[in-house]
A and B are shown apart, each in its own frame.
Chain A
Amino acid sequence: MARIGVFICHCGENIASTVDCGKVAEISSKIPGVVFSTDYKYMCSDPGQTLIKDAIKKYKLTGVVVGACSPRMHEPTFRKVVASEGINPFFCEMANIREHCSWVHPKGEETTQKAADTIRILVEKVRNNEPLYPIKVPVTKRALVIGGGIAGIQASLDIANAGNEVILIEKEPSIGGHMAQLSETFPTLDCSQCILTPRMVEVAQHPNITLMSYSEVESLEGFIGNFKATIRKKARFINEELCNGCGDCTLKCPIKKIPDEFNAEMGKRPAIYVPFPQAVPNKPVIDKDNCTHFKNGKCQFCKTNCSAGAIDFDQQDQLITVDVGAIVVATGFTIKGTDFFPEYGYGKYKDVVTGLQFERLLSSSGPTLGEVRRPSDGKVPKKVVFIACAGSRDPAKGIEYCSKICCMYTAKHAMLYKHKVPDGEADIFYMDIRAGGKNYEEFVRRAVEEDDVNYIRGRVSKVYEKNGKLIVRGVDTLLNSTPVEIEADMVVLATASVAHSDAESLAQKLHISYDSYNFFSEAHPKLRPVETNTAGITLAGACQAPKDIPESVAQASAAASKTIALFSQDLLTREPIIAVSNKSTCVGCFLCQSVCPYLAIEREEIKDRNGNIIKTVASINSGLCQGCGTCVAFCRSKSIDLQGYTNNQVFSEVSALFERSEEYV
């Protein structure tokens, strides 16, 4: 006979302000099988947990229902409490009366009733629970890091330095990411490449790191500790073993006019190219779409000039499968182009550029070798207008969030511009200045006070060209919305940071969640900001939300430490939420086998004592089963069940949906 205890949490005021917790406890006490029920201010706190433990002892409870927040938040907490008193943890269930009830409904009887109903449903579940024991699975101590920007680099180094193998894949020909494109970094103005490139070299030389550039995830199978990733190593048409990185080929290539991605299209590159001089690996790649050889077979210049004989026009994409135990996703972000802004000329005006393009113009490795020259005629601009929040915080553009880094880099851009062109003028249109970071506010003040940058609070409605000048029309909201018109030589848009166009499809391959902007979702916004909802996969950097360099690096180290903690165990315990088959009732139709996404259902032959096969039945490989339960719903003879969500459990939950008052009198 079940002896169930019900514990209702007030969550401070969070639940108690709309739900009458005392009443819920009272109603619950009348449910058959409930021998104790109470309410308390903070059930998850130490005294709250003690209260549960004491009640378990005193009332000899066999099961517990905690009415509190979402089980996605505190289920592990309360299961541990129950387990510490010697009850199998799976006899503890949480009824979500906060997220699903008190927070979404007004104070009143109906809300209290809903909470009570929710408790009753879970009491029925507990009553039908069975003891379950964690499953032990081996861990492959090798990590896959996806993305070779600063976040991926940091995570790889941390994991590798702890003595684990790392496979770092990067879809571009070189690692480095956006950080490699930056001129100087805020708030210290140290040169980005100078701090980044040593790390890149460290990655390349690290004995524990296998670097696969120009590679992408093709597919992923498996689960925490035991993933199988298939990686597409794209053909770069260079035999990397033979190539010595001399770069002769890139000089000989007759095609020279391709917009250079690394320079944010501010410069040109040949069809065979190394993205930038410090690239790692320092091996070129042939851009097939623009190469004359691939177009009409007429050119072989690079091949004939390669003394190492490394050019291989016949190279194919390779699919490589690797076993890994954990994955760090660090795929970064991209920014909106100027063509996203009809009001600023749809990208038509050459001298309206993005922040990243301006960054390249400032960089001493950029197309102008660090001289600020405008793209249209190469002249030094004497007046530059910077527009912050271009696209960000703008519901009309569909981007409601703050891109976070623009306030700071715009201040930096204006400052660097003034250092390079001391007689030039820099105006910044802004909405608010968000400089929350160590030494950030001071940095912005410096731009204003020492470098004479002119901040105008207001938005720009239009940019248009007139007599070779860009007319920037906006308002100054600090001066009563007075219209402002500025004649500029150049306009820099701090365009919104957005997720990569392929972020959604990557999330689907990895089975991780993503938000409505296609940024990847963390498991909990505050307490699990690094993990995803898929065990074994963590996030680092701006693929989760816009972030600056220190934040990306910090999160990367956090993701690495999660990974290292996972690798510190030889065996991993996994929730026993898996399917089991009943071999005596199974009729062997194997419908289950055809719907199982994990190929976890095997055929088992049942033999008599003479070794003759009596029948073949379904048997579940507990290592492969992930517990979706699709087979259970399909089984015609009800011979498969899902532990933790058994037919009995869900059936009795449904039976308890609505109160039948007569039963309780």
Chain B
Amino acid sequence: MSEFEPKIVAFVCNWCTYAGADLAGTSRIKYAQNVRIVRFPCTGRIDFMLLLKAFEEGADGIIVSGCHPADCHYTSGNYHARRRWMVFKDLLDFIGIDSRRIVFSWVSAAEGAKWAHLVNDTVSEIRNLGPMKEYKNLENVSSNKIGELIND
């Protein structure tokens, strides 16, 4: 059996992490191919419902990355994203998605190598976790059943 190749989505901000990934390119630092990048102006823009959507589409793992604390191009978007992530984690636990499937990180425009590591580390972490099945399981649960689950 061929090794499981996880599908990874990266939600990144334009000013730091997108530029950091550009730098990885200009410095020709090689990393795993599994990642698809979606560009946002700022991590503050990232509606976390999009993360669930990505899982629904078949992602096995997600990277959310922006500017380091204090470096956000818009001053505070990354702080909001971080808070949102803290809350979102609980929701993931509640709906039964392993929160290790989402990696929250900071990669600056100068950190091409960090970006490459981040992708590689995420790929190997998700490879260990195996394919994302939780969402599929959830899809099969009827709304009644969800009601029951919540009442339990």
Contact = CB atoms under 8 A, between A and B. Distances in A.
Contacts of B38: 121, 650, 653-654, 657
Contact of A629 (B18, B26, B41, B54): B41
| Majority SS at the chain B contact face | loop
Nearest to B73: A511
B58 A513 contact: no
A28 interface: no
Interface in A76-96: 96
Nearest to A656: B57
A515 B110 contact: yes
Interface in B14-70: 14-16, 18-19, 21-22, 24-26, 28-31, 33, 36-42, 44-48, 50, 53-54, 57-59, 70
Interface in A615-665: 626-630, 632-634, 642, 644-645, 647, 650-651, 653-655, 657-658
Interface stretch (A101-109, A132-140, A430-438, A479-487): A101-109
A657 B109 contact: no
Is the interface on chain A under 10, 10 to 19, 20 to 34, or 35 or more residues? 35 or more
Given A100-B37, A103-B28, A508-B70, A655 B57 contact: yes
Contacts of A654: 9, 38, 50, 53-54, 57
B76 interface: yes
Contact of A657 (B24, B48, B58, B72): B58
A482 to B, nearest CB: 38
Given A597-B77, A633-B80, A106 B30 contact: yes
Contact of A533 (B7, B47, B109): B109
B29 A104 contact: yes
A98 B76 contact: no
A70 interface: yes
Contact of A513 (B16, B39, B76): B16
Given A121-B38, A628-B42, A657-B54, A533 B30 contact: no
A70 B33 contact: no
B122 interface: no
B110 A511 contact: no
Interface in A316-351: none
A602 interface: no
A110 B31 CA distance: 12
A99 interface: yes
Contacts of B151: none
B125 interface: no
Contact of B26 (A103, A114, A651): A103
A546 B53 CA distance: 47
A534 interface: yes
Contact of B45 (A110, A511, A513, A633): A633
A516 interface: yes
Interface in B89-140: 108-111, 116
A105 B30 contact: yes
Interface in A281-322: none
Given A114-B33, A633-B44, A658 B80 contact: no
Contacts of B21: 99-100
A515 to B, nearest CB: 4
Nearest to B38: A653
A595 B33 CA distance: 36
Contact of A634 (B16, B29, B80): B80
Contacts of B73: 511, 533-534, 628
B32 to A, nearest CB: 8
Contacts of A632: 45, 47
B9 A657 contact: yes
B39 to A, nearest CB: 8
Contacts of A121: 36, 38
A70 B22 contact: yes
Given A111-B33, A654-B53, A657-B36, A630 B80 contact: yes
Contacts of A96: 22, 37
A72 interface: yes
A632 B28 CA distance: 35
A110 B33 contact: yes
A650 B39 CA distance: 9
A644 B26 CA distance: 26
B110 A521 contact: yes
B130 to A, nearest CB: 17
B16 A645 contact: no
A627 B47 contact: no
A398 to B, nearest CB: 14
A633 B36 contact: no
A513 B80 contact: no
Contact of B25 (A70, A595, A597): A70
A113 B35 CA distance: 11
Contact of A508 (B18, B46, B53, B71): B71
A587 B42 CA distance: 25
Contact of A628 (B16, B70, B74): B74
Contacts of B80: 595, 630, 633-634
A154 interface: no
A623 B18 CA distance: 26
Nearest to A93: B39
Contact of A72 (B19, B37, B48, B72): B19
A155 interface: no
A207 to B, nearest CB: 36
A117 interface: yes
Nearest to B47: A633
Contacts of A597: 74-77
Interface of A: 70-72, 96, 98-100, 103-106, 110-111, 113-114, 117-118, 121, 507-508, 511, 513-516, 521, 525, 533-534, 577, 595, 597-598, 626-630, 632-634, 642, 644-645, 647, 650-651, 653-655, 657-658
Given A513-B19, A633-B84, 10 more contacts: A72-B19, A99-B26, A114-B33, A533-B73, A577-B41, A630-B42, A632-B47, A642-B45, A645-B41, A650-B40
24 contacts: A100-B22, A104-B30, A106-B30, A113-B33, A114-B36, A121-B36, A511-B73, A513-B109, A516-B111, A533-B109, A629-B42, A629-B45, A632-B45, A632-B47, A633-B80, A634-B80, A642-B45, A645-B41, A651-B50, A654-B9, A654-B53, A657-B7, A657-B9, A658-B57
The 5 closest A-B pairs by CB, nearest first: A99-B25, A629-B45, A630-B44, A628-B74, A103-B25
